[in-house]
C-alpha cells in the first residue's frame, strides 16, 4: 500500500522515475542500479539458505520497475504485482508485459500461494495505523514458511533523510527504524531471519563497495533489508 490515498501515486504514474531521480541523483546512480543490487543481494541470501523461489508477490509494485529484476535475478516463474494505484498498475502492465507477470489492485485477501513477498520502500507511505493490516496481508499471501523480503529506507542514515526530502512523494513519509520494522513483522506472524544494511558508498566512492559485505550488520547503509519467515 503505497500511500494513504490512491490519487497520490496516480498523479506520479507517468513521471514517477523523473521524480525519484531528483533525489537519487545525489548518489550518482540510477534507480535500476539500486533495484538490481537489492535483488542480487536477496538472491544471495536465499541461495545460502536454500530457499527456492517460484512465485513472487511484489507488494506495492507501483509502476513495476522491480519486475524484470525479480524474474531474472531470482529465476521466478510468476511475479504478481499489487498496488493501490490503478494508474501505476496501468503503466506496469504496459511496460512489463511478459509471461508470468500479472498485476492487480490490492484486495482484502489473497490465497497463500507465494513463496516470496518482495517489498521496497512501501511501508513508510502507509499510515501508521494501517501498517499491521498491510503486513498481515503479506503474511496471508505466503505459503507456510514463505519469505518476506522487506526493504526500507534507513532513517538512521542522514544521507537517506536528505534524499527523501528532495523527492516529492517522500517528503511527508513516516519512516520506520529497523527495530520498528522487526516488531511490525513479528506482530504479523513472522520470525525475523536477519537484517542487512546496504548502499553505504555512493558512486564517487564505488571503489570501496567490495567492503560493504563486511559491514552489512552495521546500520550504515541507505537502506536495510528485513528478511522474515512466515511461521
| Model pLDDT, residue 143 | 97
Comparing 18 with 93, which gets the higher pLDDT?
93
Can you identify the CATH homologous superfamily of domain 6-230? Vaccinia Virus protein VP39 (3.40.50.150)
Within 49-147, where are the H helices? 67-74, 86-95, 131-141
Residue 179 has pLDDT above 60, yes or no: yes
Domain ranges of the chain: 6-230
The band of 107, judged by pLDDT with boundaries at 50, 70 and 90, is: confident
Contact 21, 31 (CB under 8 A): yes
∠68-70-75 over CA atoms, to 5°? 105
Q: Which residues are CB-contacts of 107 (< 8 A; sequence separation ≥ 6)? A: 82
Mind listing the pLDDT tens digit for each residue in 32-90? 999 999 999 999 999 998 998 999 999 999 999 999 999 999 999 999 999 999 999 99
The band of 2, judged by pLDDT with boundaries at 50, 70 and 90, is: very low
Tell if the pTM clears 0.75, that is, is over it.
Answer: yes
Mind listing the pLDDT tens digit for each residue in 193-220? 999 999 999 999 999 999 999 999 999 9
Amino acid at each position: 500500500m503505497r500511500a494513504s490515498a490512491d490519487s497520490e501515486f496516480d498523479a506520479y504514474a507517468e513521471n514517477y522515475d523523473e521524480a525519484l531521480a531528483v533525489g537519487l541523483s545525489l548518489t550518482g546512480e540510477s534507480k535500476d542500479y539500486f533495484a538490481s543490487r537489492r535483488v542480487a543481494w536477496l538472491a544471495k541470501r536465499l541461495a545460502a539458505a536454500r530457499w527456492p523461489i517460484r512465485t513472487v508477490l511484489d507488494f506495492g509494485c507501483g509502476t513495476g520497475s522491480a519486475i524484470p529484476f525479480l524474474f531474472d535475478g531470482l529465476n521466478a516463474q510468476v511475479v504478481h504485482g499489487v498496488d493501490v494505484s490503478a494508474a501505476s498498475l496501468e503503466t506496469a502492465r504496459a511496460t512489463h508485459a511478459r509471461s508470468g507477470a500479472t498485476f492487480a489492485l490490492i484486495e482484502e485477501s489473497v490465497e497463500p500461494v507465494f513463496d516470496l513477498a518482495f517489498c521496497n520502500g512501501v511501508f513508510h507511505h502507509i499510515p501508521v495505523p494501517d501498517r499491521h493490516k498491510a503486513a498481515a496481508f503479506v503474511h496471508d499471501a505466503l505459503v507456510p514458511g514463505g519469505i518476506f523480503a522487506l526493504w526500507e529506507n534507513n532513517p538512521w542514515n542522514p544521507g537517506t533523510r536528505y534524499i527523501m526530502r528532495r523527492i516529492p512523494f517522500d517528503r511527508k513519509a513516516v519512516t520506520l527504524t529497523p527495530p520498528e520494522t522487526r516488531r511490525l513483522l513479528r506482530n504479523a506472524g513472522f520470525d525475523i531471519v536477519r537484517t542487512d544494511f546496504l548502499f553505504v558508498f555512493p558512486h564517487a566512492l564505488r571503489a570501496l563497495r567490495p567492503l560493504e559485505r563486511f559491514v552489512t550488520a552495521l546500520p550504515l547503509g541507505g537502506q536495510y533489508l528485513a528478511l522474515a519467515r512466515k511461521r
